Amino acid sequence: MSLTISILGISLIGILFTLYKTRVRIEPEKGPLTKEPETHHPVAHIKSVLFLEIPLERIAMGGFSLILISYGWILISGSTLPELELGLLTLASVIMLLLLFKQILVAGISDNFRWRVLALLVISTILTMLIWNRPGLTDPVLLEDTEIYMLTLHLLGLVLGLGGAVILDVMIFHFLNNFKISSREAVIMHLISQMIILGLIFLIVSGVALTLTDPDTFLENPRFLMKMTSVGVVTLNGILLNLFVVPKMEQISFLEGEKEENSGLISAAFIAGSVSMVSWFTVFVLAMINPLETFSYLQLLSAYLILLAVTIAGGLGTKKLYEVKGERA
């Protein structure tokens, strides 16, 4: 009872905070039509509190409202609906990880700290922890009963994440047809990278739920442990890519006189792109091919490291190829 009231209280604070912040938000001044809008610049796009063109506060407010209404109803009716609560826990966790990602990005790129994102992150973390502590939500029986829904979310995450990673790589090569990335193209790539992050968040949240159905068995399985290692690489690489490469994407140029200035950035982009692609496919293959569990963790890790080295060498070779072509352009 007291836990339900705390959840209601925190979600209400969250809603009031987002309402207040939405009200005081200052609309950016509209410039002349001929001028490129500020949001078409990658750094401005990252600094704005938008996620896939939706203000993060609205996403958080929607989530908090749903939690408030659902728990209000649970309190009034006195009913126990663990399946609904598990759905709300999933929603709260997704919002919390979205805000965490945005907070890391904003702190790493922006010169002025955004307290609003941090405050929302704290509220959503408390909310997630409170819902997590509701009785029976991490019970393996409930998690097994709802496995099909978590698998559905896992596969949706796979579509967005792996699909986005492939699209991003194809786009980069398409945009490099003229040996240069423009601001507009950089913003498009930032949007796709947000799609990938959303996919990864879905995969992590649903993945934890799937693992909790039988944690001991999963944690003894070398295929699963190797999958977690590659997920770690995908996550870290994704954060570094978003922090250090995506904001400077428009500086990528293979044209004479420009390529020398940003050689380090171009190498980082090609290395991070290769690591992303090979790691996403490694996780996918490890998840799908059951017989891989006959190999030890060390064998799987060695194969992954060799694959990584080969792909990074391939990425750097491709960069060299573009440099040669760019000289002739």
Q: Could you say whether residue 158 binds ligand HEM (CB under 6 A)?
A: yes
Contacts of residue 216, defined as CB under 8 A and 6 or more positions apart, other chains included, come to none
Cα distances from 295 to residues 222, 239, 307, 327, in angstroms, run: 7, 30, 16, 47
The single residue among 154, 180, 259, 319 that binds ligand HEM, judged by CB under 6 A, is: 154
Rule CB under 6 A: say whether 222 interacts with ligand HEM.
Answer: no
Nearest to 67 by CA among 15, 21, 2, 20: 15
In the chain, the amino acid numbered 5 is I
- Mention every residue, 6+ apart, whose C-beta is less than 8 A from residue 77: none
- Assess 281 for contact with ligand HEM (CB under 6 A): no
What element of type H or E holds 50? strand 50-51
Q: Give the interface segment with ligand HEM, choosing from 133-141, 155-163, 240-248, 293-301 (CB under 6 A).
A: 155-163
Interacting span for ligand HEM (CB under 6 A) from 65-73, 133-141, 203-211, 293-301:
203-211
Residues 182-201 that bind ligand HEM (CB under 6 A): 200
- Could you tell me which residues come within 8 angstroms of residue 205 by beta carbon, excluding any fewer than 6 positions away? 90, 93, 94, 97, 153
Residues 43-82 contacting ligand HEM, CB under 6 A:
none
CA 157/CA 176 separation, integer angstroms: 28
Interface stretch with ligand HEM, choices 23-31, 42-50, 51-59, 150-158 (CB under 6 A)? 150-158
Local structure of 54: helix, strand or coil:
strand
Residue type for position 283: V
Give the one residue of 168, 198, 203, 277 binding ligand HEM; rule: CB under 6 A.
203
Distance CA 148, CA 143 (A): 9
Residues that contact ligand HEM, how many (by CB under 6 A): 20
Tokens of 83: 């399946």
Sole binder of ligand HEM in the list 121, 172, 196, 231 (CB under 6 A): 231
Residue placing its CB nearer to ligand HEM in the complex, 168 or 234: 234
**Which positions ≥6 away from 89 have C-beta within 8 Å?**
128, 131, 132, 134, 137
User: Of 234 and 246, which has the nearer Cβ to ligand HEM?
Assistant: 234
Q: Which of 6, 182, 211, 318 binds ligand HEM (CB under 6 A)?
A: 211
The site map against ligand HEM for 285-314 (x = CB under 6 A) is --xx--------------------------
**For ligand HEM, which stretch binds (CB under 6 A), given 4-12, 18-26, 210-218, 315-323?**
210-218
Element (H, E) at 55: strand 54-55
Q: Which member of 3, 5, 54, 151 binds ligand HEM (CB under 6 A)?
A: 151
CB of 54 to ligand HEM, least distance (A): 23
Please, are residues 283 and 231 in contact by the beta-carbon 8 Å criterion?
yes
- List C-alpha distances in Å: 195 to 12, 159, 218, 232, 263: 29, 10, 28, 18, 27
CB nearer ligand HEM, residue 18 or residue 282:
282
Of 118, 166, 208, 265, the one binding ligand HEM (CB under 6 A) is: 208
Q: Which residues bind ligand HEM (CB under 6 A)?
A: 151, 154, 158, 161-162, 200, 203-204, 207-208, 210-211, 218, 224, 231, 234, 283-284, 287-288
